[in-house]
Chain A
């Protein structure tokens, strides 16, 4: 789905992660020798991954930084027309986390709530949803929250893919959208490739698995029906993700530029989901764009799922400064698989310094 909005302003961006830093090379030496652990760090690019306290959830992180955004922008909570929360790590199945967040933020009963399940593409996906509400004329101010508690350091023993501990960190982000007539346009290109749903999967808390187990126990299906679900922890096909970035993300970004009648030379910064260093390097090479325009800045944070773009903006002065140089493409991609890209002017957006819990 492609769209252009001329009345949506990105007022503020905030992000957070954990104070606790896990050194990846050291962590991986619990299941790799020193040489191979160093190689994993070199390939993925994460020297450290961050973790929030176990007492904190994604919703908690978002509430804290949403409060900061509300204070910093000096806005009346009752003026927030919609709260969108995108995550894979909800507090509970029921109620959806967004209801609890509404309560904790003290938002009006008239505030529209939407709790969306999505991973790494979730930030731009959520911003798109919020922009649609504003463009439709039903909202003037939307808070978009996103993130995951995906740090896998404590799950090493309980996982088939221990290398995930070298990859993921905890993180959350908040974007405040406002209606503003005749502001700089924002363009979106949002695509989904559900035929690739097996590339990344995690069957924890799966209703399908629970039901199949009961069906097998009652002899309604053969035990073999459960075989595909006997993996432990998140399963990732690294090669397929790398190929997805080249085969789908790049064309998605190119189509976005065509939508705006622009070329890559008109863009000051291509900020991609910080999946890993190798993928970003490959995208820069394939797009024939200098690496500094497609920066990898998450070396001390980890892949923080949907929070990665917001964290890159709020953590990295290199990125924050580049926002003022001209147009920015934000491109997030991941589990589903799906890719959501947006072209926008963030030069006047308030960027809050990243917060660490």
Chain B
């Protein structure tokens, strides 16, 4: 899966109210609160990717989150 595909899948999953880009800061984005990140964990699980919620929450930006997922 490419980074773009992953970002698209995540955006479709959480259906955000505000635009999400690679530069979006997770802590500042309401759509990426605990339940938003939880939904991302579930989406990744459906794609066979196992990531812990706390690891996603530790990322600063969406770009960092995607890199972390692709490396896992």
Contacts and interface: CB of A to CB of B under 8 A. Distances in A.
Interface in B29-56: 30-31, 34-39, 42, 45-46, 53
Interface residues of B, number: 15
User: What DSSP secondary structure best describes chain B's contact surface?
Assistant: helix
B53 A285 contact: no
A39 interface: yes
A39 B38 contact: no
B46 A285 contact: yes
A282 interface: yes
Nearest to A245: B38
Contact of A39 (B30, B37, B53): B30
A35 B17 contact: yes
Contacts of B53: 239, 242-243
A36 B30 contact: yes
A239 B17 contact: no
B37 A239 contact: yes
Contact of B39 (A35, A38, A278): A278
A117 to B, nearest CB: 27
B34 A285 contact: no
Nearest to B39: A278
A43 B30 CA distance: 11
SS class of chain A's interface: helix, strand, loop or mixed? helix
A174 to B, nearest CB: 32
A231 interface: no
Given A35-B17, A285-B46, A286-B45, A242 B31 contact: no
Contacts of B15: 42
B42 A282 contact: yes
Interface string A18-39: 0000000000000000011011
A239 B34 contact: yes
A238 interface: yes
Contacts of A281: 42
B46 A242 contact: no
A42 B39 CA distance: 13
B17 A278 contact: no
A237 B33 CA distance: 12
Interface of A: 35-36, 38-39, 42-43, 237-239, 242-243, 278, 281-282, 285-286
Interface of B: 15, 17, 30-31, 34-39, 42, 45-46, 53, 57
Q: Which 7 A-B pairs have the closest CB atoms?
A: A239-B34, A242-B38, A282-B42, A238-B34, A43-B35, A278-B35, A285-B42
Given A36-B17, A238-B35, A286-B45, 11 more contacts: A39-B31, A43-B36, A237-B34, A239-B57, A242-B34, A243-B38, A278-B35, A278-B39, A282-B42, A285-B42, A285-B46
25 contacts: A35-B17, A36-B30, A38-B17, A39-B30, A39-B31, A42-B15, A43-B35, A43-B36, A237-B34, A238-B34, A238-B35, A239-B35, A239-B38, A239-B53, A239-B57, A242-B35, A242-B38, A243-B38, A243-B53, A278-B35, A278-B39, A285-B42, A285-B45, A286-B42, A286-B45
